[in-house]
Amino acid sequence: MSAYVLGFEEIEKTKLMVVGGKGLNLGELSRVEGIQVPEGFCVTTEAYKRTVQQSKKFTELLNQLSLLMVEDRERIAEISENIRMVIEELGMAKNISEEIIRMHSELGREHAYAVRSSATAEDLPFASFAGQQDTYLNIIGSEALLEHIRKCWASLFTERAVIYRMQNGFDHSKVFLSVVIQRMVFPEASGIMFTADPVTFNRKVLSIDASFGLGETLVSGLVNPDNYKVRAGKIVEKTISTKKVAIYALTEGGTQEQEIEPNRQNKQTLTDEQIIQLEELGRKLEAYFSSPQDIEWCLFENTLYIVQSRPITTLFPMLDLNDGENRVYMSVGHQQMMTEAMKPLGISFFSFLSNSELNTAGGRLFFDLSHDLASPIGRKLILTTMGKNDPLVHNVISSLMERKDFIKALPKGKRMLTLGSEELTWSLPVKAIQAYRKNDIAIVQQLISESQESLKEVEQTIESFSGEELFDFIEQDHKQLKELLYDQQSLGVIMVGVYAVNWLNKKMEKWLGDKNAADTLSQSVPYNVTSEMGLALLDVSDVVRQYPAVISYFEEEKDEAFFKGLVKVEGGGTVADSLRTYLEKYGMRCTGEIDITRTRWSEQPTTLIPMILSNIKNFEPNARSKKFEQGRREAEEKAQDLLTRLEPLPGGKQKAKKTQKMISVLRNFIGYREYPKYSFISRYYIYKKALLKEATVLVQKGIISEKEDIYYLSFEELREVVRTNQLDYRMITERKEKYEFYEKLTPPRAMTSEGEVLFGQYNTDNIPEGALAGIPVSTGIIEGRARVVLKMEDANIEEGDILVTAFTDPSWTPLFVSVKGLVTEVGGLMTHGAVIAREYGLPAVVGVENATKLIKDGQRIRVNGSEGYVEIV
């Protein structure tokens, strides 16, 4: 077997680093029974390595390239061009060129060939490098073949290929190129087939693009191809496009664009029989490779040839559970305002809190709504609960309900949203009524006191446990945590607070035409632990502002030994005390905090520095009390204004009396809504610190490399590792790679068991043209500079900025103090960001799809928190 050339039939699964992704797939394809593949061979990566490594100039340029960042576009372009020139001018070793010419002769020098690149980082399950290197068609003769092999090698360093590798974390010096030499077929038609619908991700629907001539017409975008959708041997949808041109091969070599005769331009490219035949081939390849495939095909003399097959890398993964039933799953992350991927330990812990079984896909959690949707009562409950907070969920469910056959096929069983469930027993409304009648803030004080006592007890008790006993304790304590979270009195208080919000908004709009009145009435309410957290950081900022040396330290200091360095500068000891006091109460918080594995503020206090510096820049001293007092006064004035305007109305005195009671109920109870989450996140941090002590022991024993490795194990897997002191470390490595892939995915709001993703759409009839639609959650209109922030620690907020981000959980609250408005991609009327925006009096629109991509940092935008849209001004 040659080191420099391999025929397709010689390529085995172990040869990825020798022939690259494309070459490996062609080797596999040529062995699939019933699949016609044009014959050919691969010039191996060894040939590439031997050729380029003899050049000192190439090595020098490659070293220069490795020092650049993605932003250095001009230098990337310059160095890449120089590398390409060096490669194209390199001589090829005699034994390499002889091997290529020998294989070329065996296949027939008189034939035309396609010369394609096959990179070792190409066509792999988690990254598609499709189109990053060049392809040459209809190459005739040995000299032309050798020339175009060098051109293919050089195309590894096109500007787009270099940037793509940088963005996906591939080292240029470790990506090698094989070249595929494949006999040309001169097709009547060609195209691409996806064995899963590339738009909806439905695994049962196959999608075919087809046009006349060579596939380059389609790839280059010269024509709109026909599109056929096929499901289980039936064509379910056809789009026949007008195809004015095609690319055909020339007999002397090369290709030419030709106009299609007018009477063929609107003709269906493939017959129905050929479409069904192509689907069968697609399903056969999908089964062989055990994953959905992106397949290049062509039709020659009524035979369908497969030119290439690679995994589709853009699909959101299917759920682990696949019992053959038709099911609908709803995203937990969209409900919890945390749509980023979670690590296995985080998934385990959050799953413990649910009374319903949760399912995992793409590092995200989903709950099964199939039984609810199968029931008329269940559908109504979904629309009035989830759908009320999030119109996109409402639209998703409504559109599903229109698919009668789909709904009929859903399995029937115990519903998740049911008045008979643990979460919503009949005693809950009774507790809510009692809280409403008493209208006593002492109820909230008592609930908070009980929760704090429980936390203190856990913190003291957990110290005495280690090893297997620690896992037993955490498992048992979770039961108490669930009791606290689902406590009827606690849920009753929250229910009454939300009821008061809805009542006031509905009645004030009906009686006075005053929209979203509860927004202003909710400002500066007592016992809102999340809004208090944002205001408390203003006090810390006041301590910091007194010491210029501390401010300088903050502007340059990194995470390592933060407090140790802080106490060495003037005023550092005082600031450290203030910051530690803050962290004692709020240090368990962080972005994505429902994932126990996320780095907490106490673990990385420097996360708070940008917010502290922004506070110093944007506020005068003593801003906390001024800001709270201003909100309280605005709420009081709003209440008085409403009552004054109600009294002259028919039945005005009665309406005013009822409204006054509702305002009192709102202000007594709505702040508590944030507390249960604070409580369980506090408990999680206690668990986490205990588990990290166990992780330290595992590192000392050499079982794991670093403490954070435990995040890639489920709770039960970690328990077993602690018990046995055994672990196959490859599991950690594989899960780290998967997590990196999952991080890049955008999870859907809902998905079906067929993999179809459901995102939902807004009705945009009543908003200005070009505006971005969302959900109005905090009234008011504000115009200002958009500050697009993807990570809280990167925030640099100026006075008057509007925060634009993917989602906000409670940890983002300190930023709300400095901004004048809020736009998020995910959210609903009663989610944390919305509640705090109302309390701080910030106009806010949430659920704006792709806001962080459509709005550019620094653009001037207008946020309409009353009607629910954002305009780019």
**SS3 readout for 637-654:** HHHHHHHHHHCCCCCHHH
pLDDT at 121: 60
Q: What is the DSSP letter of 173?
A: G
pLDDT at 591: 93
Q: Are the CB atoms for 126 and 28 separated by under 8 Å?
A: no
The bridge status of strand 821-824 relative to strand 844-846 is parallel
Q: Are the CB atoms for 264 and 256 separated by under 8 Å?
A: no
Q: How many other CB atoms sit within 10 Å of the CB of residue 152?
A: 25
DSSP-derived 3-state class of residue 192: strand
Terminal Cα-to-Cα distance of the chain (whole angstroms): 66
What value, to the nearest 5°, has the Cα angle with vertex 118 and ends 112 and 121? Answer: 170
The residue from 148, 172, 371, 832 that is catalytic is 832
Continuous segment of H or E residues that includes residue 25: helix 16-29
**SS3 readout for 230-257:** EECCEEEEEECCCCCEEEEECCCCCEEE
User: Could you report the per-residue pLDDT of 797-851, keeping only the tens digit for each?
Assistant: 888 899 999 999 888 988 898 899 999 998 888 788 888 899 899 999 999 999 9
How confident is the model over 157-171, as a mean pLDDT? 83
Give dist(CA 719, CA 466) in Å, integer. 11
Give dist(CA 867, CA 762) in Å, integer. 13
User: Could you report the per-residue pLDDT of 145-158, keeping only the tens digit for each?
Assistant: 999 999 999 988 98
Query: Rounded to the nearest 5°, which phi and psi values hold at 62?
Result: -65, -40
Give dist(CA 438, CA 447) in Å, integer. 15
How confident is the model over 107-123, as a mean pLDDT? 83
DSSP-derived 3-state class of residue 302: coil
Q: Helix 467-485 to helix 442-462 angle, to the nearest 10 degrees? A: 170
How confident is the model over 542-564, as a mean pLDDT? 90
pLDDT at 283: 97
Task: Give 616: exposed, middle or buried? Use CB within 10 Å, 0-12, 13-18, 19+.
Answer: middle
Give dist(CA 128, CA 350) in Å, integer. 32
User: Could you report the per-residue pLDDT of 497-538, keeping only the tens digit for each?
Assistant: 999 999 999 999 999 999 999 999 999 999 999 999 999 999
426 vs 217: which has the higher pLDDT: 217
- pLDDT category, 387, cuts 50, 70, 90? low
Give dist(CA 169, CA 176) in Å, integer. 15
Contacts of 856 (CB under 8 A, 6+ apart): 786, 788
Catalytic residue flag (residue 832): yes
pTM above 0.75, yes or no: yes
